Structure 1
Amino acid sequence: MSIALFLLTFLFPPRTISVPALALPSTVASLSPRPVAVAIPVMPLKKAPKTLSYTVTATTYWPEPDQTDDNPMETADGSIIPTRHSSKTRWLAVSRDLLSKWGGPFTYGEKVHVRGISDELDGVYIIHDTMNRRHRHCVDVLVSERECKKGGLEGRWPSIKLSKLPAVDPTWQAG
């Protein structure tokens, strides 16, 4: 309770007024309730788009202590990066603001579509890792150091489109 409300209640206490109960007419007292049909207009719901798209900055990384932590082959979700990995591994690290743990739209293990980097790196990725907390609206594409330096895959790309892929219902998969 605020001090002002306390002072007002103390200075001007509420007053109660007693009124004798009024008798209801006999016609009102004998009515019984009956169901009444009420038409309530139903407004159509706006559906969220099937795939949400986010604009992020993309960079590439490979597992080494300078770019990760003391255990570079283990990702934030506990997955182990294959020893002979390449850009075809299609694993992604996202900044914390994009993860649901910190209020973002994505979760570990979720598949996302990345567009706008290059023909070699665009495609579907699985989120396995988290970037350093200083990064915001960023993704890091896992590549091998050899590929990155020889193939020119090292770089920073602004305005990359990151789209959520719809969850697949396992009961409707082709068998």
Structure 2
Amino acid sequence: MALPSTVATLTPRPVAVALPVLPVKKAPSTLAYRVTATTYWPEVGQTDDNPMETADGSIIPRRHSSKTRWLAVSRDLLAHWGGPFSYGEKVRVSGMSEALDGIYIIHDTMNRRHRHCVDVLVNEQECKNGMEGRWSGIQLRKLGPEPTWQAG
């Protein structure tokens, strides 16, 4: 005896799937970089043929010193070449010395042979009095935007 043939029809039905919701990690607003730092003063042997003009077009003051707080960075650190910093940006430098640590403004670019380096602007007399040097493992920290205050 033969069995009757039956056709089964299945219809899809929605199924609820619970996925865990993980918090999104935000990148820190200020990033720190480890760099090598050196000092320089504007003379043709350490810069280009126009030593008093920086890469961003600023003119180094005649009576500059380490208190001027200007910084040259290697190209790999500049936004133009894919880095995190731009001309005119303020950065905190720490790990060199009590006299040189502090907040600097990026105004200049180092020679293309340098990588992950910064150059601190000083005057020649300061270097002769012991400020000349090379420091490894210096922390370079990007400063966030300054708050704007409004009367409320």
- Scaled to the shorter chain, the TM-score interval is 0.7 to 0.9
Question: Over the residues paired in the alignment, what is the CA RMSD in angstroms?
Answer: 1.8
Q: 1:113 to 1:42 in 2, by over 3 A?
A: same
- Paired residue for 2:132? 154
- Please say if 1:81 is aligned against 2:60: yes
- Please say if 1:140 is aligned against 2:119: yes
- Please say if 1:172 is aligned against 2:149: yes
Q: Deviations over 1:76-103 (max 9, x none)?
A: 0000000000000000000000000000
- Unmatched runs of 5 consecutive residues or more in structure 2: 1-17
Q: Deviations over 1:110-132 (max 9, x none)?
A: 00000010000000000000000
Equivalent positions of 1:16-95 (< 5 A) are: 43-95=22-74
Q: Deviations over 1:52-97 (max 9, x none)?
A: 0000000000000000001000000000000000000000000000
3-state SS of 2:131 partner? coil
- Paired residue for 2:5? none
Instruction: Give me the whole-angstrom Cα distance separating, in 1, the residues matched to 2:89 and 2:24.
Output: 27
- Paired residue for 1:130? 109
Instruction: Give me the whole-angstrom Cα distance separating, in 1, the residues matched to 2:150 and 2:136.
Output: 36
Q: How many residues align?
A: 135
With a CA cutoff of 8 Å and minimum separation of 6, indicate the structure with the bigger relative contact order: 2
3-state SS of 1:50 partner? coil
Instruction: Give me the whole-angstrom Cα distance separating, in 2, the residues matched to 1:101 and 1:141.
Output: 20
The structure 1 residue matched to 2:86, chosen from 92, 107, 110, is 107
- Paired residue for 1:23? none
What's the CA shift for 1:41?
6.9
What's the CA shift for 1:42?
5.4
3-state SS of 1:141 partner? strand
3-state SS of 1:85 partner? coil
Instruction: Give me the whole-angstrom Cα distance separating, in 2, the residues matched to 1:55 and 1:107.
Output: 17
The structure 1 residue matched to 2:76, chosen from 84, 91, 97, is 97
**Matching residue's letter, 2:34:** T
What's the CA shift for 1:172?
2.4
- Unmatched runs of 5 consecutive residues or more in structure 1: 1-38
**Matching residue's letter, 1:73:** M
Percent of pairs identical after alignment?
Answer: 78
